[in-house]
Amino acid sequence: MAETIAGPAGAPHAEGRRSLARPVPLLRGYTVLLGAAWRSLRAHRANLVLIFLGSAALQGTQLAFIGVLLGAFGAIAGWDVSEVAFLYGLRLTAHGVCTVNFGQHRASAIVVREGDWDRFLLRPVPPLLQLLTRIFNPGTLGDLVLGLAILVAAAPHTPITWTPLAVLYVAAAVVGGGLVEAGLQIGISGLDFVLGPTTRVKDTVDRVLTDFGAFPMTIFGSAGTWLLTAVLPLAFVAYLPATVLLGRTEELLVPPWIAQLSPLAGPLLLVLGIAVFIRLSRHYTSPGH
């Protein structure tokens, strides 16, 4: 049951709606909604496996392309096979962290256009949380599993000294990188409430992160490196933490301490992206009015 405050001509305003139900704790709401989305997939298990394999195969094509480059030239910007593989695994694992947990940001335009946001506003769970748990895409697990496999396979062949601190830093870098991507995409999703569908913008950002994130930034020159660090913070996803672990901070255009603290950029950008999304969602107009 919900109470609404009518605007002009009796049309309910999104910001005027107040749920009379007891608010559900965020973690509880997330686990319940995600569990329901996952159970709905189990009705078609063969399709689940095919989607999983298809996602892994799609990412594998880029890995094969990088392998061809390394086979032809032996190194990319001075990075050898094991180092490039480690960078690729770090980036893909971070991408998996983002898509597994936040991948439903892609549905924001559909939710706004079809009026599903109205139903989200009437429930005792934050609307953004409902959007992110709307369904579960099993293909995202393919990204995560393949990324972890590459990371684990490449790690022993790198010059990294594997101490508990180094392992902890990798874990922080993976999570932080995933949150960088999530923060960007969630913030862009908020524009759906004021500018209309932004799916193509999000696809472009995703393509840049995917295509450019697998390579050392130095191949893009000084201007490109600054662009992918300060404007579109791709470098924070995997490149900066990789240079710290591989002892390559001398090639950076930013101070080494920024690279060392790069995993912290993820939580900051996620909070900023969510704040932008919530702010812009106040401009929501129900398609039924």
Q: What is the pLDDT of residue 215?
A: 87
The whole-angstrom separation of Cα 48 and Cα 33 is 19
Domain enclosing residue 25, as ranges: 21-281
Q: What is the pLDDT of residue 40?
A: 59
Average pLDDT, the chain: 82
Is residue 21's pLDDT more than 60? no
pTM check: above 0.75:
yes
The whole-angstrom separation of Cα 237 and Cα 221 is 18
Output the six-digit token pair for 182.
């999530």
Is residue 243's pLDDT more than 70? yes
Q: What is the pLDDT of residue 207?
A: 86
271 lies in some domain: yes
169 lies in some domain: yes
The whole-angstrom separation of Cα 182 and Cα 97 is 9
Percent of the chain with pLDDT over 90: 44
Name the range with the highest mean pLDDT among 148-162, 169-183, 198-212. Answer: 169-183
166 lies in some domain: yes
Summarize pLDDT for 52-66 with one digit per residue, the tens: 566 666 666 666 656
Contact 73, 154 (CB under 8 A): no
145 lies in some domain: yes
H or E, element range at 2? strand 2-3
2 lies in some domain: no
Residue 169: partners with Cβ closer than 8 Å, 6 or more residues away = 241, 244, 245, 263
209 lies in some domain: yes
The whole-angstrom separation of Cα 92 and Cα 273 is 21
Over residues 192-212, mean pLDDT: 88
- Orientation of helix 239-246 relative to helix 164-189, angle to 10°: 170
Q: Which residue has the tokens 């329901």?
A: 36
Contact 231, 223 (CB under 8 A): no
The whole-angstrom separation of Cα 29 and Cα 128 is 11
Q: What is the pLDDT of residue 43?
A: 56
Q: What is the pLDDT of residue 66?
A: 62
237 lies in some domain: yes
Report the amino acid identity of residue 217: M
Number of domains in the chain: 1
The whole-angstrom separation of Cα 237 and Cα 37 is 28
14 lies in some domain: no
Please state, as a whole number, how many other Cβ atoms lie within 10 Å of the Cβ of residue 19: 14
- At residue 46, the 3 state secondary structure works out as helix
Q: What is the pLDDT of residue 259?
A: 95
